Amino acid sequence: MNLSGDFMKKTLCIVVTIFILPRINYCQVDSLKSFFPLQIDNRWQYEVKHVFMFDTTISYIVSTVLKDTIFENQSNSYYEVKVAFSGKPFYDTLKYFRYDSLLKSIIEYNELGGGEGLLFKLDAFENECWDYFGVEVCCGIDTLFVFGENRPCKIFYTHDNTPPAWSYILTDDLGAVRIGDDQSWGFTVYSEYNIEYAKINGEEFGDFVGISYDKTNTVESYFLYQNYPNPFNPATTINYRIPRRSLVLLKVYDILGREVSTIINEEKPAGSYEVEFEGTDLSSGIYFYKLQTENYTYMKKMILMK
C-alpha cells in the first residue's frame, strides 16, 4: 500500500480546490463589461464645450440608462439609453445597446434600419479596426487620470479623419468619460464632452452640477433634431425642443461658414417646435443649421441636392 502516494494525491486535490477553482470562477467574471456599464439608472453628466468658428459655449448634459427592451423579430434584449452625444448617424437621443459576451463588444441596434452594428470592440488590440454601419472604427489603448486615479482606457475613433469625425474614451468601471464630435467642413465646428459626474451601479463619482435628474430639467431637455428629409430638394423640416422660455436663434450657414438664412430670431415659450426651411434660392451642397439659446448651442449638417 502506497501511503505516500495517496497522501500526495489528496494534497494535490486540496491545492486544486483552494487555488485553481477560485481562479476559474474569477475568470468567468467578464471585466470588459465595466468599460460600458449597462445597468438601469446608471447616468453620466458631461460638461460640453461647443466651438463654432470663434464662438465657444459651455453647457451640461446627462446620459442615462432608462430601461431594457426587446424589439419585434429580435431575440436579443437591449438597454435603452438616453445618449449625451447625438453625432454619428443618430437621429434622436434614444439609442439601444447590448453587451455581447462572445464578441466582447458593445452592439448597437439601429431602430430605423432594423440591424445591428459593432460599436465598441472592447477586447480590440491597438490600431485594430472594424466596420460600424459603413464607418471604419479603430481602437487605441492608454491610461487616463479620472476622478482621482489612473484608469485603463480604450479609445474608439473614426479612422478616415474626414468630418463628421467622432471619438469615445471609455474607462473601466465608468464607461464614456470623454467624447469628441468634429463637424468641421471648411470652418471650425466641434464639441467636446468631459465627464463631471457618474452614478454607476449605485456608486457615485465626481460632483453633479446643479441640474435635476428629472426629464424635464432645463439643460437635459434642449435638443436639435436631424432635419427630414435629408438630402432635400427644395424644402426640409427641422424640429427642436426647449424646456423653458428662451430667446431662440436658428440659422443656416454654408460650407464656408457664411450665414445664408435666419429661420428664427425670437423668444419662444417652452415646447417642441417644427419649422420648414426652403432652399429654393440656394445651390446644391452641404449646409449647417445651428440652434442657439442662452443655455444650449448645437449644429447639424444637411444636404441640398437639386
* Confidence grade of residue 5 (pLDDT, cut at 50, 70, 90): low
Strands ordered across the beta sheet of 285-292:
259-268, 246-254, 285-292, 297-304
- Averaged pLDDT for residues 219-231: 75
pLDDT at 275: 93
- The string of pLDDT tens digits covering residues 239-250 is 888 888 889 999
- The string of pLDDT tens digits covering residues 69-100 is 998 878 899 999 988 664 433 334 788 999 99
**In which residue are the cell numbers 439601429 written?**
110
CB 300 within 8 A of CB 289: yes
Least confident of 27-41, 125-139, 143-157, 290-304: 27-41
Q: Which residue has the higher pLDDT, 215 or 279?
A: 279
pLDDT at 88: 39
Q: Are strands 149-158 and 135-146 parallel, antiparallel or unpaired?
A: antiparallel
pLDDT at 219: 41
Cβ partners under 8 Å of residue 49, min gap 6 = 56, 57, 58, 191, 192, 194
**In which residue are the cell numbers 464578441 written?**
103
pLDDT at 80: 94
Instruction: Report the percentage of the chain scoring pLDDT > 70.
Output: 83
Domains of the chain: 31-206 (2.40.360), 223-304 (2.60.40.1930)
* pTM as predicted: 0.67
CB 184 within 8 A of CB 178: no
Q: DSSP assignment of 164-201, as one string?
A: SEEEEEEETTTEEEEEEEE--SSS-EEEEEEEEEEEET
Least confident of 152-161, 209-218, 265-274: 209-218
Strands ordered across the beta sheet of 271-278:
223-224, 235-242, 271-278
* Confidence grade of residue 221 (pLDDT, cut at 50, 70, 90): low
CB 119 within 8 A of CB 137: yes
Average pLDDT along the chain: 82
- Cα angle at 84 between 82 and 89, to 5 degrees? 85
